[in-house]
Amino acid sequence: MAPDALRADWCERSLSGGVAFAEMGLKLLERDRELGRLAATVADGSAVLVVEGEAGIGKSALLAAGVELARARGWRAFCARGGLLERDFGYGVARQLFEAPLQRASAVERRRWLSGAAGLAAPALGLARADRSGEVEDPVFATQHGLYWLAANLASERPLVLVVDDLQWSDLASLRWLVYLARRLEGVSVVVLGAWRMGEEEAPVELLGQLGGERVVPSPLSVAATGELVARRLGRACDVLSARACHRATGGNPLLVSELALALDRDTSLPLDLERVVELGGQALARHVSSRLALLPAAAREVAAAAAAVDGELAPRQLAGLTGLSLQVVREACDGLVSVRILEGQDTFGFVHPLVRAAIYDALRPARRAALHRRAADLLESEGFPDRAAVHLLAAERSGDEGVVVRLVAAAERALGGGAVEEAVVLLRRALEEPPPAEARYRVLVRLADAEFLAESEDAAIAHVRAALELARDPKEQEAAALVLVSVLVTLNRAQEVVELLAAAAGALREAAPERAQRLEVERVLWSLYLPVVPMDLGPRTAALAREAEPGGLAEQSLRAQLGALDAIVGVRPAGEVSELALRALQDGQLLAACRGAGWAGFHCALATLIICERLDECDEWLSRREVLARRTGSRPELAGLVAHRLRVARVRGELAAVVDEARSALREEGEFRCGIVSPLAVAQLVSALVERGELDEAEDVLVRHGIAEGTTWAWFELIPERVALALARGDLARARAQLVDAPPVRAWLPLQMAPCEVAVALAGGEREQALARARAMLAAAERFGAAGRIGMARGLVGLATGGEEGIEQLRAAVPALEQSPRRLELARALVDLGAALRRHGRRVEAREPLRRGLDLAQRCGATVLAGRAEEELRATGARPRRLVLSGVDSLTPSERRVARLAADGRSNREIAQALFVTGATVETHMRHVFQKLDLTGRDQLPAALAGESPGSGPAKSHGGSLMRS
């Protein structure tokens, strides 16, 4: 059996035995309150309970009671225990929980439990080869999701209790997964019971706190309970004075009381010598253990030292290999250690308590510890457990052994493939300390930087990859190191450094390796789009590189996509032409499959082009395809990018509620997504939607909270239109003007995007001629570009700036243009502006129809400010505004629609939850709302109910009228 399965079995036996507090069926002393809370947690069926306390207070005994409560109900209970040494063994605790049950299961059961998304957990559990060159781009996210669904699959058959003792020593990967699981327990029959020793200096306190759930803190035993426990240990009564002395000596700690009783049992008889009680109780546990060891032969002490170094469940054969003693001598030594309550077990052996193991281990000299760890590493390697062997290499002496470096790097690669990134970092840092030979140092530094990037230690990653760049002499190494550094800097939104780095790297390789230099130059040009001020010659440089690139290759497709995006942004070529260019770049699937570098940038340029050109249906299609890939590979930065694009699409359509809800969620999880390039886009859409809803304080707070209220970064320039709108909404014209004064480079190359801001500021300042000139320039540019929505918006601005009858006609002309586009909110605005202008010119009856339509649309979009203005204008015409009541498909939220579409395609709730990375309970809630809103009685009715409904097209109906959804 594998070591993790052995440790899990040992942990389970220890818990079942109550670890010295429930032996022989004895009732736990003074723990009724705690047992009651355990019983309530287990009965809840989906909960977390953590027992906190000092060492020896009885935490393990309470977990044992939890196991018995669960099994009495017929539930499964899987057990694990953290270990001081095994904190660096990635997903060690998760392996303990699941490895033994999976090994005992039949092939059919294993396939069932690991079906669907649960299969993503296989590498972390050692059930599949962990290969980072495969599909999984972000193994951390994928593994957490896979382990969650493994637990959910098991719990769907029988409720499951996961029991983890000594959480403070859990490996970080397992602990992060437990937090992930704990946040998603709704609707899943899983209970998590844990024990955490308080006061450990290196314990991950913040992560332990994120587990949530109920906390139970056992109190020390009273004098009476102390006396009863001493009596149980000694097998005879304990008088009150003796009980008080024992309580004073131990503080009522159950473990120390038991140890004191063992010492007294050999030292005296009742009635107890009270001075002797105080003397023995004052001794450290280490001295108690040492005195018991002294009673045994030297071979037993050797075995105890070896067992302490390994810290796990060991067979006599393994102990013989570690000590060099014969098997018979080792067996006799183990029997002796069991007799003095240092070890426990029969065929395999482990310590009765971590404190006992710590007392023996801490007494070893450093050199002896290091030697034992090296022997343990070699033994485990020979037995086929290289990952556990690597953990012991961490504590072995540094000796410049190249073989040790190779083993540590290989273990780190496996850890990375399984998503245990923090543990991979520890292994690679230890490999550097060995140290590696000069020729291997570059490779170790690059792998370490990559691992640190995944572990969110960006500063360390940057330092190590820069060190690797200094060592790199081969062009291939220089290119690889540069691209690792690019990945880190892009995540931190440091585009200026990215471009400078790529320029220097390309220049250094231009003569020795022109092909590699060109690839880096392609990257430089693509990332230049994210500079605070985009170079005016970026278009010609992009076009020149595209001509030089291999026809049909990834580089050419990426550059063509960027060319399309640049042309769309500046508006120098017609929308139909550049959108077709984007679709052709996407067509062969190279950009779709690219998860990093030039291909990643090219794909997102293509999506941006489709959005600017108002080809939202096609954009939705490619977003959905990419989302399937991103969820399969577990790429958090990619998921963040897709969220940003979905927000932009929703904002163009005027779906403000969806924008606000999804943007808030995305920004709450920003640390989880980790992609600095795209988070400002989410902020921009959120601020814009909040201004439209009149929630100005929150909009201001969002800008400040995300560090882009002021400055000169790309993100700051990206949000100029939103900041101008916010300032105007607050009536702060001076601030709005200041935003535009600070942005001349952006205004020069973003004419279509900036013109509405400039017109709005000019009109607010009474500068009608300036506003009209700018609006006419925007209209001319929009007509050249050819996107119907842009043309409609520009005509509306010209109408506002012109005024009078001519202005009314321009406003009237804006409406049909916007009706041909998906810009519902802008259509609502044009209708309200038209109605208001008509009302001001005394044409009140004529004004009512556009105002009613505008109000209806504004309410659908959730544009509170515009809807309020429309209501006021309608009342001024003598009409009474009608209340909007949504029904049918139009009443579904974006999330409900996505779930409904998947269900209509025949997917089960579980399959939908796995596909969307949400819980089953979330899907059930959405489906319940879908059935209620669409008045359905069965899933087979969904396709018909959704027929003809597609994002951005088809009729939208309500009890207050109808209009075309565009």
- Could you tell me if 612 and 606 are in contact, meaning their C-beta atoms sit under 8 angstroms apart? no
Bridge-partner residues for 343, per DSSP?
A: 351
Highest-confidence segment of 140-149, 279-288, 460-469: 460-469
CATH class of segment(s) 648-653+662-876: mainly alpha
Per-residue pLDDT, 402:
93
Domain locations along the chain: 3-216, 223-283, 648-653+662-876, 888-964
Cβ–Cβ under 8 Å, residues 522 and 557:
no
- Grouping H, G, I as helix, E, B as strand and the rest as coil, residue 419 is coil
pLDDT tens string 451-466: 898 888 889 999 999 9
| Cα–Cα distance list, 216 to 79, 164, 377 (Å) | 19, 15, 38
pLDDT at 265: 65
User: Is 826 within 8 Å of 654 (Cβ atoms)?
Assistant: yes
Q: Reduce the DSSP state of residue 729 to 3 states and report it.
A: helix
Q: Is the pLDDT of residue 917 over 80?
A: no
Tell me: the pLDDT tens digits for 74-105?
999 999 998 877 788 889 999 999 988 998 88
Q: Is the pLDDT of residue 957 over 60?
A: no
Residue labelled with tokens 């290999």? 321
The residue among 527 and 226 whose pLDDT is bigger is 226
450 CB-side CA count, 13 A: 22
Question: 426 with 394: CB under 8 angstroms?
Answer: yes
The answer to whether 3-216 and 888-964 have equal CATH topology is no
Choose between 943 and 591: higher pLDDT: 943
Mean pLDDT confidence for 138-160: 88
CB 609 within 8 A of CB 639: no
pLDDT on residue 710? 53
* Greatest mean pLDDT among 732-746, 816-830, 879-893: 816-830
Instruction: Reply yes or no on whether the pLDDT at 698 is more than 60.
Output: yes
pLDDT at 881: 81
Q: Residue 498: how many CA atoms within 13 Å on its side-chain side?
A: 28
Asked whether 754 and 773 are in contact (CB, 8 A), the reply is no
Of residues 936 and 817, more confidence is placed in 817
Residue 711 reports pLDDT greater than 60 = no
Q: What is the CATH number of domain 888-964?
A: 1.10.10.10
Q: How far from 943 is each of 117, 903, 947, 949, CA to CA, in Å?
A: 26, 9, 6, 10
Answer for the pair 498, 489: CB distance below 8 angstroms, yes or no: yes
pLDDT digits (tens, 9 = 90+) for 417-445: 888 888 899 999 999 999 999 889 999 99
Q: Which of 417-431, 599-613, 848-862 has the lowest mean pLDDT?
A: 599-613
Q: How confident is the model at residue 964 (pLDDT cuts 50, 70, 90)?
A: very low
The DSSP letter of residue 85 is: G
Rounded to whole angstroms, the Cα distance separating 91 from 173 reads: 5
Q: Given pLDDT bands bounded at 50, 70 and 90, which one contains residue 714?
A: low
Question: Averaged over 615-640, what is the pLDDT?
Answer: 78
Residue 451 tokens read as: 């691992």
The strand pairing partners of 161, in sequence order, are: 77, 191
CATH pick for 3-216 out of 3.40.50.970, 3.40.50.300, 3.50.50.60, 3.20.20.140:
3.40.50.300
pLDDT band at 926 (very low <50, low <70, confident <90, very high): confident
pLDDT score at 269: 52
Looking at the chain, the whole-number percentage of residues with pLDDT higher than 90 is 38
Full DSSP string of 855-906: HHHHHHHT-HHHHHHHHHHHHHTT--PPPP-B-GGGGS-HHHHHHHHHHHTT
Determine if the pTM surpasses 0.75: no
What is the pLDDT at residue 510?
85
Of 621-625, 658-662, 727-731, give the range with the top mean pLDDT: 727-731
Q: What is the C-alpha to C-alpha distance for residues 129 and 113, in angstroms, rounded to an integer?
A: 18
One DSSP character per residue, 171-222 reads -HHHHHHHHHHHTT-TTS-EEEEEEEETT-TT--HHHHHHT-SEEE-PPPP-
Q: Say if residues 256 and 285 touch (Cβ distance below 8 Å).
A: yes
Q: Is 70 exceeded by the pLDDT of residue 316?
A: yes
542-573: per-residue pLDDT in tens?
Answer: 888 778 777 877 777 788 787 777 778 777 78
Q: Determine the average pLDDT of the residues in 127-132.
A: 57
**925 exposed, middle or buried (CB, 10 Å; 0-12, 13-18, 19+)?**
middle
Spatial separation of the C-alpha atoms in residues 385 and 774, rounded to whole Å = 72
Report the range of poorest mean pLDDT among 261-270, 416-425, 622-631: 261-270
* 253 has pLDDT over 90: no
* CA 412 – CA 420 distance, rounded (Å): 9
